[in-house]
Amino acid sequence: MEKRTEKLSRILNELNIDGLFITDLYNLRYFTGFTGTTGVALATKNGNFFFSDFRYKTQATKQVSEMGFEFVEVSRGSLQTVGEYIKKFGLKNVGFEDVNVAFSLYQTIKDIFKVELVPVGNKLVMERMVKSEEEIALIKKAVEISDVAFSEALKIIKEGVSEKEVSSYMEYIQRKLGADDRSFTTIFASGYRSAMPHGVASDKKIQKEEFITMDFGAYYEGYVSDMTRTVYYGDNISDRHVEIYNTVLEAQILGVNTIKEGIMSDDVDKVVRNFLTEKGYGEYFGHGLGHGIGAEIHELPYLSSASHIELKENMVVTSEPGLYFDGWGGVRIEDDVVVKKNGSEALNKSNKELIILH
Q: How far apart are CA 186 and CA 228, in angstroms?
A: 10
State the DSSP code for 328: T
Q: How far apart are CA 59 and CA 36, in angstroms?
A: 8
28: Cβ contacts below 8 Å, ≥ 6 apart: 22, 34, 39, 40, 41, 50
Q: How far apart are CA 346 and CA 243, in angstroms?
A: 24
Q: How far apart are CA 205 and CA 157, in angstroms?
A: 10
| Each residue's pLDDT tens digit, 20-35 | 999 999 999 999 999 9
Q: Average pLDDT of 273-281?
A: 98
Q: 265-278 vs 239-258: helix axis angle to the nearest 10? A: 150
Q: Average pLDDT of 90-109?
A: 97
| Each residue's pLDDT tens digit, 130-172 | 999 999 999 999 999 999 999 999 999 999 999 999 999 999 9
Read off the pTM. 0.95
34: Cβ contacts below 8 Å, ≥ 6 apart: 28, 41, 50, 52, 56, 59, 60, 63, 64
Pick the CATH number of 4-127 from 3.40.50.1860, 3.40.50.12500, 3.40.350.10, 3.20.20.70: 3.40.350.10
What is the per-residue pLDDT for 1?
Answer: 56
Residues of the chain with CATH 3.40.350.10: 4-127
Q: Average pLDDT of 4-9?
A: 95
Backbone phi and psi for residue 128, each to the nearest 5 degrees, phi listed first: -90, -5
pLDDT exceeds 90 at position 124: yes
Residues of the chain with CATH 3.90.230.10: 133-356
What is the per-residue pLDDT for 75?
Answer: 86
pLDDT exceeds 90 at position 128: yes
Looking at the domain covering 133-356, what would its CATH class be? Answer: alpha beta
Which among 207, 164, 278, 183 has a CA at the least distance from the CA of 270? Answer: 278
Q: Average pLDDT of 112-119?
A: 98
Q: Average pLDDT of 186-202?
A: 96
What is the per-residue pLDDT for 35?
Answer: 94
Q: How far apart are the first and last CA of the chain?
A: 47
What is the per-residue pLDDT for 114?
Answer: 96
Q: Average pLDDT of 39-67?
A: 95
What is the per-residue pLDDT for 207?
Answer: 97
What is the per-residue pLDDT for 173?
Answer: 98
User: Which helix (H) or strand (E) is 149 found in, with range?
Assistant: helix 133-154
